[in-house]
Chains A and B, each alone.
Chain A
């Protein structure tokens, strides 16, 4: 059964949408039958009740020290929401206005920071009347041609207090076509206000996140040069793939240089071998299987308040209105890992994610300009853990000749693992200027053995024909937990950038 739809039904039954739909029409929805409406769902999805006049197109979220949530919205305002742990009684007040499409929000040292189209701004309420009165320009000067697609995202602060910003490439020309400096690059603003470019080759990197190790990660969008959405590791000197960003390599501050024409008719794996600065993403999100437009990245720092996935990352998905989960590991100093679907059936595309004070996941939503599944064009939802353990693949670790699969619960006795419990195929993508890529060079992998650990929580897959750089997509079949539940999400895509030479420690 589809658990997330079940979550939705809980709300509907609670009467949130009583005026919109009638329970009479429920039986006509396939896939939702009697047992779906169970109360032991491990996660609860709630929808925020928003004042009629407030078009809460969420573009930034920042938890404030008093537990309230600052919310940037696309029309250029910041609102403060209190009591977010009870979405039907949350209160909202306007804090700031007049901003130019802020696409991020962060709180640091008594101030809010947002990236507008043309600058990084610090916003404070100096007279403490509840409304911001100081809009201080911390950094500006990146190119703005006026093209609509030149979104600027951030900031994401790192542990040293640097503010990271990602800049879209333009699509088409703007009114000032020559002012393109650093479009398609990430930049880092140091606490003294100076800034420098970090990495280049982004297309539309709409979300960033801070890894507990201190590294900055960003997603990007399927499109030209990006065969599908990736999770990228933002580091100095790295080229992520989009060729439009290469025009800035000749600037003295550039952190890498690619002078020659890019090779043609190659895969992304070959690109990583042939183009010096090009770095494969730690995770590819295969198109449709793992969404169509990845957005925000948020590591689970709730210490278990959000369930058994502490240390893993959650990623927003826009077009398909869902939340993905990512488990990253480092093999020979290279990040790589697995992605899973986590929660589906949101009311609208998810652009922003944040933890609230109680460890609930606040999901900020808007789909203006780009459609998404669901029945709302903006809003906010809260996903919280109800306390029971979901039956999921907790993580997957690469091994020299296969994968180690760890489950959240022990497998039951009739887990069907006597036969092949998993179908595995691997594939990669074209690296080219065309829009997206199909999955190419596909192979079905032979699983030689699948041994279960004594505690029945770990399955070691011994696999023939692993290929470095390729996505390894696994579909698990027939597994049931010791309490006889089926896997909530049986498909996982592991991007195998490095095959470890020796068994991995976790």
Chain B
């Protein structure tokens, strides 16, 4: 059964529309003494004064003062409208108990929130009745359908990493960081249901269309991981709230009486047409909402003294020009959106020392230029307006190597910021480029292509081009230049990169404005314009020289073996590969001092060694043969398999014989110098070893497999791709952990211990 009842509240809170609001605003006189006088505009204090004015207007805009007070000043039309969170879907996303606590003490729950406390000063029993009623009202049945339930299968550990790397830490403290003065998210698990948080993270602007929280365009996995991380906190709501929804009507009345609908939207329009409040320009500046401790019944925003002073400064009749947000306003606005957590501009210095560690890059040798978001000084002159708009809306990512993600701040913020940047940064002294209408006299695509290539200025050494990897470091893809940059800036930047980005490693290719190489248009202006032309016509152009065709790096042993040291799969970082004209090839690990790899077919590509800055491991071009057991370089004396474990093998080098075949020389034990040589034949390879006969007669494990077949006394079939034929020494089969091990003992000859065997394909 539903009960409808009047809210039981103190007398001054009876729902007589607007009455309680009026307290403090009724005496609508200005208090001039509380506002500073503006210094003349050319004095040193002028800049900070204008900044204060701008901050005041931004705050008035964000707090939504004009939602209740008449007379929205025209100046606020310059700023995007700030709307409070939409509440239509609150019941699907939030936890009831939290709403109750939140309405009771919003500033205790989230210090710094723009939500005013409307119920302060009300004694506890009545307070919880009101908040219960409001919660019931927000939870009333709706025809809106619930978003899909999400399976909270995210990985909280990865979520924490995303939190650090994507940029959440720019504004929010890590959950376990209780010291930070950044916005804490320790409350979110008591505020949100899991699917609600997931939905919010995927599109924060849906419920908070003009708020600061931007859209990171998270993948489903990222959003799930972040949700899991944020829900790991164990805070629980303290308040006990019945699930009853019997006070919906009472809640509706409170919603209207408190004029929540002036800022928040619901399915039904709850906005009061003409709130009975003083005109904004006639408000008292030292009382009402702006009092240090507003009376019960007056919205309490918990502003700090500085913020109250900013509002007073903006509204003061002594403040000149209420027509336009001062130029410094863009910085104040950036502070509001926390742009300065990542970017520097003007007086905003960007991330502080503690914050800098969170910026990471996948392009290791881009270092700081690869991990820190760029400064925004002059960005309005640098970038095309359209590109700025897209960038602020997160849709023009140009730095894929940067792990921190430029998020989407939404269209309204983007418009304000992009247009402000363009207006403020426009430089009247800027020389336009002479390109218009005279392309042939200025820049030529073919010159630009030549300049970008390896026989020109070599732009492609560092810059990828249209997705094609650059030859060295992988800096920003130059395709972005044409879509993002303004031509005059591009020219000025190339002439003196460090003037725009102090410390950049981008060389000045036109020192003192002069070409560093000849031709291709001749003058700096023509050369730069040629590059500009080429970059703008990239899609229809040939790639530059050096990127277009790469050398063939295939190594082909012809008359003699090829000895080739490299980083190599299986053979390790100390690998020495030997390729034979007979199409069998082997690789020696000069750290472990053992043969690691044999293969048949093509030998190796030298590209990873000769041309790729990032030196990936080379791998055989032919088919690998599992011919060498991984002995970890262990030799044995008799039964003593531990003999070699006591000493690290020591690589001593190699010698080439007249045919160019290397003999590897290494030391095992304290002093035994082994000579180890492999050469290829038509059907396999032959390995021969020797060491001085006055040293111990070592035994060598040459094969290990689950079974074998004895073909003759000297020839064994190990697998269907390997026969071993002993050509010198005494073979002995031993069983070790279900493996049949073939050991070879040396024979003495000419003052040496010697052994040798062939590895070949069966049937040969």
Which A residues are closer than 8 A to B by beta carbons? Answer: 12, 20-21, 25-26, 28-31, 74-76, 97-101, 116-119, 121-122, 126-127, 132-137, 140, 144-149, 171-172, 174-176, 179, 223-224, 264-265, 287-288, 292, 319-321, 345, 367-377, 434-438
Contacts and interface: CB of A to CB of B under 8 A. Distances in A.
6 contacts: A116-B565, A127-B658, A137-B651, A174-B573, A369-B461, A377-B454
B586 to A, nearest CB: 14
Contacts of A175: 567, 573, 617
Given A30-B523, A75-B609, A144-B574, A320 B653 contact: no
B497 to A, nearest CB: 10
B606 A75 contact: yes
Contact of B458 (A76, A172, A367): A367
A119 B575 CA distance: 12
A226 to B, nearest CB: 11
B495 to A, nearest CB: 12
Contact of B562 (A98, A121, A375): A98
Nearest to B617: A175
B615 A148 contact: yes
Contacts, number: 175
Contacts of A435: 367-369, 503
A438 B516 contact: no
Find the residue from A28, A116, A224, A320 having the highest chain B CB count within 10 A.
Answer: A28
Nearest to A150: B615
B574 A133 contact: no
A98 B565 contact: yes
Contacts of B733: none
Contacts of A368: 461, 471-472, 611, 613
Contacts of B462: 370-371
Contacts of A376: 455
A30 B367 contact: no
Contacts of A375: 455-457, 517-518
B512 to A, nearest CB: 7
Nearest to B563: A98
A94 B54 CA distance: 72
A120 B502 CA distance: 39
B505 A292 contact: yes
Find the residue from B508, B565, B576 having the highest chain A CB count within 10 A.
Answer: B565
B653 A134 contact: yes
A223 B611 CA distance: 24
A147 B573 CA distance: 10
A75 B513 contact: no
Contacts of B472: 368-371
A373 B509 contact: yes
Given A319-B505, A368-B611, A371-B461, A31 B514 contact: yes
Contacts of A148: 365, 613-615
Contacts of B369: 435
Interface of B: 353, 356, 364-365, 367-369, 454-459, 461-462, 471-473, 498, 502-503, 505, 507-509, 511-519, 522-524, 546, 562-567, 572-574, 576, 590-591, 606, 609-611, 613-615, 617, 651-658
A98 B591 CA distance: 17
A367 B503 contact: no
B502 A438 contact: yes
Contact of A97 (B356, B563, B617): B563
B565 A76 contact: yes
Given A30-B513, A31-B514, A438 B590 contact: no
A224 B573 contact: no
Contact of A372 (B356, B503, B507, B515): B507
A52 to B, nearest CB: 13
A171 B365 contact: yes
Contacts of B615: 146-148
Contact of A288 (B455, B456, B498, B522): B498
Contacts of B566: 100
Contact of A172 (B364, B498, B511, B654): B364
Contact of B573 (A136, A146, A292): A146
A45 to B, nearest CB: 15
Closest 5 CB pairs of A and B: A28-B522, A435-B368, A172-B364, A369-B472, A100-B565
B559 to A, nearest CB: 13
Contacts of B513: 30
B125 to A, nearest CB: 54
A144 B573 contact: yes
A442 to B, nearest CB: 14
A321 B458 CA distance: 13
B367 A149 contact: no
Contacts of A320: 507
Find the residue from B546, B567, B610, B651 having the highest chain A CB count within 10 A.
Answer: B567
B613 A135 contact: no
Contacts of A74: 610
A434 B655 CA distance: 46
A25 B653 contact: no
Given A367-B458, A370-B461, A371-B462, A136 B653 contact: yes
Given A369-B461, A374-B516, 10 more contacts: A30-B514, A75-B610, A97-B562, A97-B563, A134-B656, A135-B654, A140-B651, A287-B498, A367-B458, A375-B518
Contacts of B573: 117-118, 144-146, 174-176, 179
Contacts of B471: 368-369
Contacts of B505: 292, 319
A137 B508 contact: no
Contacts of B658: 127
A369 B613 contact: yes
Contacts of A122: 653
Nearest to B606: A75
Contacts of A28: 522-523
Nearest to A377: B454
Given A29-B522, A101-B609, A371-B462, A118 B546 contact: no
Nearest to B614: A148
A21 B516 CA distance: 14
Find the residue from B461, B513, B517, B606 having the highest chain A CB count within 10 A.
Answer: B517
A256 B47 CA distance: 51
Contacts of A437: 503
B255 to A, nearest CB: 52
A274 B503 CA distance: 26
A21 B522 CA distance: 10
A220 to B, nearest CB: 15
A134 B364 contact: no
A427 B677 CA distance: 61
A31 B365 contact: no
Nearest to B608: A148
Contacts of B606: 75
A489 B524 CA distance: 24
A136 B454 CA distance: 37
A377 B364 contact: no
Find the residue from B365, B368, B505, B617 having the highest chain A CB count within 10 A.
Answer: B505
A265 B516 contact: no
Contacts of A345: 516
Contacts of A146: 567, 573, 615, 617
Contacts of A127: 658
Given A144-B573, A367-B458, A370-B472, A25 B514 contact: no
A171 to B, nearest CB: 4
Given A97-B563, A118-B574, A146-B615, A434 B609 contact: no
B590 A118 contact: yes
A121 B565 CA distance: 12
Nearest to A436: B503
Nearest to B524: A30
B517 A319 contact: no
A373 B609 contact: no
A138 to B, nearest CB: 9
A377 B656 contact: no
A76 to B, nearest CB: 7
Contacts of A176: 572-573
A264 B357 CA distance: 14
